Chains A and B, each alone.
Chain A
Amino acid sequence: MNIIIVGCGKVGQALVEQLNDEGNDITVIDKVAEKVNDVSSRCDVMGVIGNGATHSVQRDAGIDTANLLIAVTGSDELNLLCCLIAKKAGNCHTIARVRNPEYYSESQFLKDELGLAMVINPEFAAASEIARVLRFPSAIKIDVFGRGRVELLKFRLPENSPLAGCAVKEIVTKLHCDVLVCTVERGDEVHIANGEFVFEEKDVISIVAATRKAGEFFRKIKYKMNSVKDVMVVGGGEIGHYLCEQLIRSGMSVKLIEKDPARCETLCATLDDGVSVINGDASDQNILVESGLEQTGAFVALTNLDEENILLSLFAKSVCDCKCVTKINRIGFDNVISKLDLDTIINPKSITSDTIVRYVRAMNSSRGSNMETLYNVIKGKVEAAEFIIKEDSPVVDVPLMELDLKPDVLVAAILRDKKVMIPRGHDSLQIGDAVIIVSRQIGLRNITDIRK
């Protein structure tokens, strides 16, 4: 597919890398020559220097043959203009990043009137993900499928857990829990678990379960789970703003620490009174403790500096036994960061690129099944996708044990008529099902891709 990406910022680059690896022909546009040269020397893409909202630049980038234009520059207005012009100049789908809450609240109107295929707000998406994790703090990461009926939860097995030393199949036989273990991360290795796999302490495990059943599972393995009542949020940017709104709605009490007095005023004016806005520099330990860090149930670090966020979370961990969420947007070093005891890490740029990549794959795939959702369970190694089966295909109505699946592909859950099934060998896929596939095969586009 021919894709034009306007804006080579963090999200733009993440998109280029991921979409390029999946075999799309990409042209990037940016005003800054350095950024374009940097991207086009790292990836096999064409670069055009100029204002992406002008017709001539878009024509240079090949708008007449493009299938999709993604506008992810720093400015909402420019993104919308890019999409508007692309829509008129060529016959392509358009995706715009819109982060200003004023515009985003009208996203449906924008989509309809400007003919946008998707309006994406990384800050809002990140805030929703954080809120989800805080509602269920046992998990490091929660991805939801089937409009929230199925969850893919990732958690770290604590020391002395009764599950350590157990084999995967014993979860069903001993604990009688209807959950499916998908992946186990041990050190740098990633395993797609089969029945014989034996857990060890400190493994990071991801399971698929119906939303109602997940709590039961954690109770049975005696996993400590204090529900969070008080949250301390550091950094009052857009994510902080959206997050506070969502947390207040689910009945938590929120303290928001922000350095800039003017921003505090705005936040105070727009947010619900339940949020106590505190003006202060969070890098000062006294302010954190004074604001009640020791008593808080969860700590969320959302400042603009990744390094500061990491340090703040590590400090919070050392002071109290709370759930920590750390925003990391810019820096790489994934393998080093994953070794730190940081609980949940939120990466807004990859949330955005996941959403867009899912859209691109759905565009790419032929009809018959539609990809509904896509998550990177382990970045670049394992992904989880939800397909809706719309018509007959070779995988329909065949018992799963007779399907010749690719190695490391797991049919993790089936949603049929509002019921969630954790499939066993005798079950089969039916038309109308939503299926959740967890696999090491990056780039599944269609449900039929799971066969060899």
Chain B
Amino acid sequence: MNYRMISYILGWILIFEGLFLSVPMLTAIVYGESVLSSYLIAMGICFLIGGLLVFKKPKKKQLFAREGCVIVALSWIVLSAFGALPFLMTREIPTFIDALFETVSGFTTTGASILSDVEKLSHASLMWRSFTHWVGGMGVLVFIMAFIPLSGAQNMHIMKAESPGPSVSKLVPRVKTTALILYSIYFALTLIEFIMLLFGGMTVFEALNTAFATAGTGGFGFYNSSMGSFSPYLQIVITVFMILFAINFNCYYLLLCGKLREAFNLELRTFLIIIASAITVITINIHGMFSSVGEALRHSAFTVASLISSTGFSTVDFNQWPELSRTLLVIIMFIGACAGSTGGGIKVSRIIILFKGMSKELQTMVQPRQIKKIKMDSRLIDHETVRSVNVYMVAYLMIFAISLVLISFDNHDLITSFTAVTATINNIGPGLDLVGPTSNFGFFTMQSKIVLIFDMLAGRLELFPMLLLFTPATWKK
């Protein structure tokens, strides 16, 4: 294990975090808020420790797959721990675990909050919460890797560990160029949303926060009613963009290249079909609760988009909806977004591979001598990928079950505990009942919060980097 190299990269992470902190700092300056000093101090700490760590370049630069995973997991922990400092120093969130929960929830684009009244927070802190979504959405490390002078093969291990989805595909030969293309798409989409929100009458502050939170599929609101108080136009814009950010970014690149057919691949088609059918069923199910079908459609579309993209915004309290709708919502929370997007969940492509694997197994039971391979878009899915998806599913269920048991020590009802784990491990935000869209996670005990923090990180990093961190073999010489 190349400890020196790990600490070197962690140093860079801190320096970049210092730079990220300038966004809330500027907000504090604009609004003339007293929290400015806390943000300045936090920034100073990041620069100081980061600077010390990167001061001397390590001689041995070699990174292997296990270092890649460890770096990714540690980076996200370090990023969250230092990102929690401002909340502590401004005393807006007085305990460390609560502040950590809030920042982890931000960086992992979960959007689950422990605050009962977000409107009390300063503008700077609200901005910091939303900005962590934007930073965490696309992945911090790949972004930073584009700036730190490292050779490409080393980047590959890190990109593999950080990117969501069963397999990483590059758009162009170089990791750096690939990262650059993806970030440009991300940036452009965010900008378009920001402008469209401004047209809908949002203030610059509201539009920025919303755009950041949608882009990262995060879901931190800045009003207690989340998005309920905004006009139908704004809600529709947000609905569309939540879906757009949950689509594999490679599709946009293919679209830009004019490869329309390849862009609308099986995963995207499946994703859109799932959304359409969920919206239809839920609209029919809830139309009696609203004055018109149009309104029911708007709310069901918003909610479905919000939960399948793992954003977690809400316009109405969907906790009050009939059981059929609630069940469907929980199921789409598990399905999640497309691979290679900023969203969470199990990912549509994994679900497709699992289903195809199952149907293959059934066919071989009927015809034992038949040879069958799993294909997607007439491309062979190699055995390694299928195996890793299966293992992922097992690990997912295991973590889910253990977390659920640990949470149950708090003695809340099963729906609350179950959806609390669902909402964190899939990086959604709100669940049902006590953790529904109008409530928050503040009432959990400290140990339960730690479990949920782990779930959020594990969910964002696709389980294995976090699991590796707790595997003794990783640390053996």
Contact = CB atoms under 8 A, between A and B. Distances in A.
Contacts of B177: 25
Nearest to B65: A41
A130 to B, nearest CB: 34
A41 B157 contact: yes
Interface of B is mostly: helix
Interface string A13-55: 0000000100001110000010001001111111001000000
A364 to B, nearest CB: 16
A43 B154 CA distance: 8
Given A20-B152, A40-B156, A45 B173 contact: yes
Interface string B107-128: 0000000000000000000000
A41 B153 contact: yes
A131 to B, nearest CB: 38
B125 to A, nearest CB: 39
B153 A26 contact: no
Interface string B145-178: 0000001110111001000000000101111110
A20 B382 CA distance: 26
Nearest to B154: A44
A44 B172 contact: no
A23 to B, nearest CB: 9
Contacts of B160: 41
A26 B157 contact: no
B172 A25 contact: yes
A40 B173 CA distance: 9
Interface string B363-405: 0000000000000000010101000000000000000000000
A20 B153 CA distance: 10
Contact of A42 (B153, B173, B176): B153
Contacts of A26: 173
A44 B156 contact: yes
B147 to A, nearest CB: 15
Nearest to A26: B173
Contacts of A62: 172
A406 to B, nearest CB: 21
- The interface centre, meaning the residue of B152, B156, B173 with most chain A CB atoms within 10 A of its CB, is B173
A27 B173 contact: yes
A44 B382 contact: no
A33 B382 contact: yes
Nearest to A65: B172
Contact of B153 (A33, A43, A49): A43
- The interface centre, meaning the residue of A40, A42, A44, A45 with most chain B CB atoms within 10 A of its CB, is A44
A101 B156 CA distance: 41
Contacts of B152: 20, 43-45
Interface string A153-174: 0000000000000000000000
A44 B157 contact: no
Nearest to B170: A46
Nearest to A43: B153
Contacts of B384: 33, 37
Contacts of A41: 65, 153, 156-157, 160
Nearest to B175: A44
A62 B257 CA distance: 12
Contacts of A25: 172-174, 177
Nearest to A17: B153
Nearest to B385: A33
Contacts of B153: 41-44
A46 B151 contact: no
A295 B289 CA distance: 103
Interface in A37-87: 37, 40-46, 49, 62
Contacts of A2: 173
A400 to B, nearest CB: 34
Contacts of A37: 384
Interface in B192-250: none
Nearest to A21: B151
A60 to B, nearest CB: 9
Contacts of A45: 152, 173
Contacts of B65: 41
A185 B151 CA distance: 28
Interface in A91-129: none
A171 B3 CA distance: 50
A37 B384 CA distance: 11
A46 B172 contact: yes
Contacts of A40: 156
B59 to A, nearest CB: 16
Nearest to A39: B153
- The interface centre, meaning the residue of A26, A43, A62 with most chain B CB atoms within 10 A of its CB, is A43
Contacts of B380: 49
Interface in B440-466: none
A43 B160 CA distance: 13
Contact of B173 (A33, A46, A49): A46
A313 B156 CA distance: 41
Contacts of A46: 170, 172-173
A33 B151 CA distance: 23
A45 to B, nearest CB: 5
B121 to A, nearest CB: 42
Nearest to A45: B173
A207 B170 CA distance: 46
B155 to A, nearest CB: 7
A43 B152 CA distance: 6
A55 B252 CA distance: 24
A381 B289 CA distance: 76
A25 B382 CA distance: 25
A43 B155 CA distance: 9
26 contacts: A2-B173, A20-B152, A25-B177, A26-B173, A27-B173, A33-B382, A33-B384, A40-B156, A41-B153, A41-B156, A41-B157, A41-B160, A43-B152, A43-B153, A44-B151, A44-B152, A44-B153, A44-B156, A44-B173, A44-B174, A45-B152, A46-B170, A46-B172, A49-B380, A49-B382, A62-B172
Interface of B: 65, 151-153, 155-157, 160, 170, 172-177, 380, 382, 384
9 smallest beta-carbon distances between A and B, as pairs? A44-B152, A25-B173, A46-B173, A46-B170, A33-B382, A43-B153, A45-B173, A42-B153, A44-B175
Given A44-B153, A44-B156, 10 more contacts: A25-B173, A33-B384, A37-B384, A40-B156, A41-B65, A41-B157, A41-B160, A44-B155, A45-B173, A46-B170
